[in-house]
Amino acid sequence: MTKVKSRTVFVPPRRGRGTVDDPLSASGVRFTPQRRQVYEVLLSKRDHPTAEEVYLRAKSRMPEISLATVYNCLDTLVRASLVKQVNLNRTAARFCPNMNHHSHFHCDQCAEVFDIDGDAGTRRTAGRLPRGFKLRHLEMSLHGLCPTCAAKRQ
Amino acid sequence: MTKVKSRTVFVPPRRGRGTVDDPLSASGVRFTPQRRQVYEVLLSKRDHPTAEEVYLRAKSRMPEISLATVYNCLDTLVRASLVKQVNLNRTAARFCPNMNHHSHFHCDQCAEVFDIDGDAGTRRTAGRLPRGFKLRHLEMSLHGLCPTCAAKRQ
DNA sequence: ATTGAGAATTGGAATTATTCCAACTATTGA
DNA sequence: TCAATAGTTGGAATAATTCCAATTCTCAAT
């Protein structure tokens, strides 16, 4: 059943050290070696890895990093709006460093995830909300066949 | 890691017995007592219960029903397009018998889920897809504060 | 009606993804 | 330099869901 999680609220701006155009430090998150590593794993191969996959990739360059830390770092990055978390039906969450407006297309056949650019995912597409609702965030997810798998089905 | 699940493909039309306007039999799904019970639980209180909640409600009228069966029935109903499965971040899936076009608003405060009617969720809102993608299904989920919780924050 | 094949159900065990926890380490600001 | 706070670690715990093997049910053909 559901449990309320007490979680320290994300405290945004604190002093970072890195260059100004470094999104990690610019975001106000303290950039520890682990967080940087996790972020770089995401940036270097933008294939929407799961936490487990991020862990394996990060480990190859930083062998002592733990899975728990990867989860923590991903969580921090998501809260800092540097990374998007993509939730698909019944599978592990995936992570994506593309913060432009886009939606995700999930191929039912090969299970790959594709970024679909465009304004799907902007407030506009949400339509008119009934009075009183305060929208913070929206997410559009698409399902079907990717070009490759669609072609294979003649 | 991911595993490919072998699952019997859904076989639509078979002969049912119920009245023609009964969506369960009209859908071609064999309406077993358990499936009917699960479906009725969803229809009778449309508050997006989790599988566990459906199980508890169903059990009160059909004490021998098992949780595994509830999962099976929900799965069958979803495949038969009688029920929508709503996936929210990191929590149990929820189920919804409203098959009209609508999206789901998830209150970050009270965690309740609201149906938002309108064309968000129609193909149109997906925008233009790159060549080759075959869209089958789309889902829009909204996050923020529901009217009650928004008011409490004045 | 009887029967046999295929479906559905059951309870419990297993799995998967994620979170929790307590001990330890690193960093920051006074 | 030191205390306070934040972050990391490994392992244990939890939650949701799936799997499995045994049983029961249903349908259709005899």
Structure tokens at A150: 């669609």
B78 with B117, same domain: the answer is no
Protein B34 CA to nucleic acid D26 C1', in Å? 14
The answer to whether position B143 is within a domain reads yes
The answer to whether position B55 is within a domain reads yes
Residue A122 has pLDDT above 80, yes or no: no
Considering chain A, what percentage of its residues have pLDDT values greater than 70? 82
Task: Please state, in angstroms and rounded to a whole number, the distance separating the CA atoms of residues A53 and A42.
Answer: 10
Average pLDDT over residues A121-142: 86
Average pLDDT over all residues of chain A: 83
B30 touches strand D (CB under 7 A): yes
Mark yes or no for CB contact A146/B132 under 8 Å. yes
Give contacts of B139 with chain A, Cβ < 8 Å: 140-143
Protein B22 CA to nucleic acid C4 C1', in Å? 31
Nucleotides of D under 7 A from a protein CB: 6-11, 14-20, 25-28
Nucleotides of C under 7 A from a protein CB: 7-12, 16-21, 27-29
Average pLDDT over residues A108-123: 84
The answer to whether position A15 is within a domain reads no
Mark yes or no for CB contact A138/B143 under 8 Å. yes
The most confident of the ranges A20-24, B127-131, B143-147 is: B143-147
What is the 8-class DSSP label of residue A122?
B
Closest CA to B144 of B111, B113, B107, B112: B107
The answer to whether position B92 is within a domain reads no
Residue B5 has pLDDT above 60, yes or no: no
* pLDDT at residue number B119: 75
| Residue B117: C-alpha distances to residues A142, B45, B105 (Å) | 19, 18, 10
Structure tokens at B9: 């493909």
Task: Please state, in angstroms and rounded to a whole number, the distance separating the CA atoms of residues A11 and A27.
Answer: 11
B50 touches strand C (CB under 7 A): no
Q: What is the domain count for chain B?
A: 2
The answer to whether position B6 is within a domain reads no
Give contacts of A2 with chain B, Cβ < 8 Å: 91-92, 111
Strand locations in A45-145 (E): 84-86, 94-96, 102-107, 113-117, 134-145
Domain final position from B37, B58, B86: B86
Average pLDDT over residues B98-110: 90
Per-residue confidence at B9, pLDDT binned at 50, 70, 90? very low
> Range of A116's domain?
100-152
The most confident of the ranges A25-39, B10-24, B45-59 is: B45-59
Please indicate whether residue A145 or residue B27 has the higher confidence score (pLDDT): A145
Query: Which nucleotide lies at the shortest CA–C1' distance from A91?
Result: C17
* pLDDT at residue number B88: 79
**Which residues face A84 on adjacent strands?**
A96
Task: Please state, in angstroms and rounded to a whole number, the distance separating the CA atoms of residues A30 and A132.
Answer: 36
A114 with A74, same domain: the answer is no
Average pLDDT over residues A66-93: 92
Protein A64 CA to nucleic acid C24 C1', in Å? 14
B27 touches strand C (CB under 7 A): no
B108 with B67, same domain: the answer is no
Residue B132 has pLDDT above 90, yes or no: yes
**Chain A residue at shortest CA distance from B2:** A91
Residue B42 has pLDDT above 80, yes or no: yes
Please indicate whether residue B123 or residue B18 has the higher confidence score (pLDDT): B123
Query: Which nucleotide lies at the shortest CA–C1' distance from B38?
Result: C9
